[in-house]
Amino acid sequence: MSEEAHDGRSTLQAVALTAAAMLAFAANSLLCRLALQHGGIDPASFGCIRLVSGAIMLALVVRFRVQPPPSAGRTDWLPAVMLFAYVAFFSFAYLSLSAGTGALILFGAVQLTMLGAGLGSGERFGPIAWLGFVLAAGGLVYLVSPGIAAPPLLGAVLMAIAGVAWGVYSLRGRGVADPLAATGRNFMRAVPLAMALSLVFLARADVDAAGAALAVASGALTSGLGYVVWYAALARLSAMQAATVQLSVPLLAAFGGVLLLSEAITPRLAAASVAILGGIALVLSQKSRNARR
């Protein structure tokens, strides 16, 4: 095989893996919303089943892969707690939020948390990056601000907390030698926390076969296998490319909500999407230019 053909095949693989991962991440919002919308399962049970099935899937992948896992190192419970917080608040938030609105709030909170951490650690933003940061933050505030078209406040707050938790989880995982194995361990450690939460809400537990199946799909397929595909894609992407392609997740969730859940894309959601995603794109473009200098 020629070098050009090899490069073309590698590019196609990167595109296919990235597209599959983004679809999986967007599908998490759709599956959760679908399960809760029809009352097939309560949010605590959904989160618990999602984490259990995700832990099992990741354990199987790590166990049977060719690459031998490196030493686990010291036990770090903070990522597991943040993973649990993300899954729990995510699940309860989707009791009232549409798929697209929830994904946009989640994504905006994740990115703003990570960008804010960069600023706190001394990272310097140029004027364009500052403009993007303010634009993204303003879009998020506008989306959840009071008004007829505003999403339910409680759901928005819960999803924002989920986004902050996921942002902290992502920051904590930077530089991990084996991110796939570490993710599997974090899922396993988060399971007892999810079970404890399910016990707290045991009186409200309501699980039917369809709801449980959607939770398993979210955990084993779009979370567990989704991360496997994403880590395979990351090996072929630069850091800026990886951050940029995630801009597609809220849009995919929104359009999926329209097609599968009969949800509407409101003018407020559309305007907030432009502000949040456009602002983050400005920050990433500025960081990308600075990295090339």
pLDDT in tens, 75-92: 788 999 999 999 999 999
Cβ atoms < 10 Å from Cβ of 119: 13
Which stretches of the chain are DSSP H helices? 3-37, 43-64, 77-93, 99-120, 127-144, 153-172, 179-200, 209-216, 226-234, 239-245, 248-261, 267-292
pLDDT in tens, 112-154: 888 888 778 777 778 888 898 889 889 888 887 877 567 899 9
**Res. 242 pLDDT band, cuts 50 70 90:** confident
What is the C-alpha to C-alpha distance for residues 111 and 167, in angstroms, rounded to an integer? 7
Residues above pLDDT 70, as percent of the chain: 89
> 267 vs 86, 143, 148, 233, 274, CA distance in Å?
28, 10, 12, 34, 11
Is the pLDDT score of 206 beyond 70?
yes
pLDDT at site 148 = 59
Residue among 236, 245, 249, 248 nearest 288 (CA) = 245
The values of phi and psi at residue 57, to 5°, are: -60, -45
Query: Which one of 48-62, 159-173, 256-270 scores highest in mean pLDDT?
Result: 48-62
pLDDT at site 158 = 96
Tally of domains in the chain: 1
Residue among 20, 17, 21, 28 nearest 253 (CA) = 28
Residues above pLDDT 90, as percent of the chain: 45
pTM (two decimals):
0.86
Domain extent, residue 25, equals 3-292
Is the pLDDT score of 183 beyond 80?
yes
Cβ atoms < 10 Å from Cβ of 34: 22
Which residue has better confidence, 150 or 185?
185
